[in-house]
Amino acid sequence: MDKTQASTLHPALLPLGTNVGPWRVVGWGGQGVYGAVYQAVRAVAEPGPPVALKLALLPRDPRFARERELLSRVEHPSIPRLLDSGEWHHPLGTVHPYIVMEWVDGTPLYEWVQAHHPAPAQEVRLLAQTARALEALHAQGAIHRDVKGGNVLVRRSDGRAMLMDFGSGIHAGAATLTPPGAWTGTPAYRSAESSLFSLRSMWDATARYDDKPTDDLYALGVTAYRLITGTYPELSDPFKDEAGIWQLGEMASPPPSALAPQIDPQLDALIVRMLRVRPEARGTAREIAKVLEQVVERLQRQHVPAPVAPPPASRVQAPTKWLQAMAAAAALLLSAWAGWAVRDGTLPKPSATRLEAGDSEKEDANTVGLGDAALKTSTVDTPDASIPERMAEDALPAPREGQAKPNARGQCPHKEQLALNGGCWVRLTLDRVACEQSGYVFTSQCYGPVLSNPRHRHPTSDPSNPP
């Protein structure tokens, strides 16, 4: 390969026939933020069955060693098997790690249900298989951190649920690669305790959230709720207790049975349990899998017919997602303003943090997680404080407790913030679907509320020079 050809070769766009270690690229699988997936076969006379080859886009990306180690610890029929790993040497000298896994030919969970209209027992069996996969992960001290319908494939050959995409996963002893203030996962599946953490540590630029198995169980509960009802569950509004600490009540959405009366009562109660605000109330993956399997057995005995598939998840902006919107704004501010020196009050002009959340036309089937899995930081223009923003007063909800408010001159504490409807807001670069789950859409822009800083008094003069 000459120098010109080598300079155009990119790990995200390998030509068919490219050799990566002992493997030859024969097809395209997909691309995430940190890796590209190819269909590959052994580069020998008898290549054998295809495999999934995941190649790092960044040289020596440490995420791949972590994912390889996680997969090497777990063996379960609903988790792709790790087959090989190594390093691909680019002709220009960079070294890109890769891992090779079992190739899974399947369809994302929600899409599969919409197309096949399975019997209830078959739907619940898929949830049970996913719970068993999580049980195997948790038993090895590992956490998936991005459980959702788009990361569960229904295998075409036998209809088994396969838990996919372990790039966000973490295991005991692994280094934490998520930066302070960021988090890992997909907005609609984020646990209550993770969102509360962002609110409570809003002004601590060093705070890191410690994911636990119960975060996976909450995400599985969201997946089950969405699967049965066709909508996502909504968190209730946060509130401050007598000590001034943010708290959260149980979910604002009704139980699944209110939207899908045909649901098995035990399954209804289990989904509500998985979505409890208190993590310890959710139980373990093993306990959840056992209940799901009991439901499958009962439904099979009853020969319950297949219902009409639920409609696609509602994209109507719900009024009870205040916590997620505030948490999203908190994550952005912590990421963008980590350099704020509190002692002298200096605030360098930040770049906005871009949080990608996938193709809006495919819901979360191809949604990449945020934070460790999919936190993209890119420089975008910050709002010009000299240009007034004229917007309808009823476009955004009225400010809630704890939200920053503009001063008498209509100015917010920092020029990157916008004064709208009596509150201070910050623009979030989420796509429309992600924003409808974790922010507020207005004039095709996504906004999150800004929390007031309890450590600093509100500015009364120049908002660009905080006290």
Regarding whether 269 and 176 lie in a shared domain, the answer is: yes
The confidence score (pLDDT) of residue 383 equals 33
CA dist list (Å): 347 to 175, 180, 379, 417: 30, 18, 17, 13
CA 461 to chain centre: 39
Out of 102, 137, 167, a domain closes at 102
**DSSP β-bridge partners for residue 257:** none
Regarding whether 15 and 131 lie in a shared domain, the answer is: no
CB 171 within 8 A of CB 165: no
Regarding whether 331 and 435 lie in a shared domain, the answer is: yes
CA–CA distance, 77 with 67 (Å, rounded to integer): 18
The confidence score (pLDDT) of residue 398 equals 74
∠ CA(86), CA(91), CA(92), 5° rounding?
110
Which residues fall within 8 angstroms of residue 372, CB to CB, at 6 or more apart? Answer: 63, 145, 168, 170, 177, 178, 182, 184
How many domains would you assign to the chain? 3
Which residues of 156-312 form beta strands (DSSP E)?
Answer: 161-163, 170-171, 238-240, 246-248
Domain interval for residue 379: 322-449
Q: Identity (one letter) of the amino acid at 420?
A: L
Phi, psi of 432 (to 5 degrees): -60, -45
Regarding whether 415 and 287 lie in a shared domain, the answer is: no
The CATH number for 25's domain is 3.30.200.20
∠ CA(170), CA(171), CA(177), 5° rounding?
40
Burial of residue 409 (number of CB atoms within 10 Å: 0-12, 13-18, 19+): exposed
In a domain? residue 317: no
∠ CA(232), CA(332), CA(185), 5° rounding?
40
Regarding whether 121 and 92 lie in a shared domain, the answer is: no
CB 321 within 8 A of CB 251: no
- Element of type H or E holding 196: helix 192-200
Closest C-alpha to 147, from 50, 232, 215: 215
Report the interhelical angle of 213-229 vs 265-274 (nearest 10°).
140
CB 234 within 8 A of CB 251: yes
CB 52 within 8 A of CB 103: yes
Out of 271, 302, 333, a domain closes at 302
The confidence score (pLDDT) of residue 436 equals 60
∠ CA(244), CA(245), CA(251), 5° rounding?
125
In a domain? residue 310: no
Pairing verdict, β 51-56 and 35-42 = antiparallel
Report the interhelical angle of 285-302 vs 120-139 (nearest 10°).
160
The confidence score (pLDDT) of residue 332 equals 55
In a domain? residue 467: no
The confidence score (pLDDT) of residue 455 equals 47
CA–CA distance, 96 with 89 (Å, rounded to integer): 6
Q: In sequence order, which ranges of 396-457 are alpha helices (DSSP H)?
A: 432-438
- Entry pTM: 0.71
CA–CA distance, 412 with 460 (Å, rounded to integer): 10
Residue 422: count other Cβ atoms within 10 Å of its Cβ.
Answer: 14
DSSP 36: E
**DSSP β-bridge partners for residue 99:** 54, 85
Regarding whether 342 and 252 lie in a shared domain, the answer is: no
The CATH number for 144's domain is 1.10.510.10
The tens place of each residue's pLDDT in the chain, 467 residues long, gives: 555 566 678 999 999 999 999 999 999 998 887 899 999 999 987 778 999 999 999 999 999 999 999 999 999 999 999 999 999 999 999 999 999 999 999 999 999 999 999 999 999 999 999 999 999 999 999 999 999 999 999 999 999 999 999 999 999 888 777 666 677 788 899 999 998 888 888 778 788 888 999 999 999 999 999 999 999 998 888 888 888 888 888 888 999 999 999 999 999 999 999 999 999 999 999 999 999 999 999 999 987 666 555 555 544 334 345 566 666 666 555 443 333 322 233 322 222 222 233 333 355 643 333 333 333 333 333 333 333 333 333 356 777 666 788 888 788 887 778 888 788 888 776 666 666 655 677 656 777 787 765 544 444 333 343 33
Regarding whether 341 and 281 lie in a shared domain, the answer is: no
In a domain? residue 461: no
Regarding whether 254 and 390 lie in a shared domain, the answer is: no
How many CA atoms, within 13 angstroms, populate the side-chain half-sphere of residue 384?
3
Question: Token digits for 261?
Answer: 């009366």
DSSP 344: T
DSSP 416-430: TSEEETTEEEEEEB-
Torsion of CA 280, 286, 287, 288, to 10 degrees: 90
Regarding whether 205 and 144 lie in a shared domain, the answer is: yes
Residues 453, 459, 464, 467: is their CA dihedral positive or negative? negative
In a domain? residue 462: no
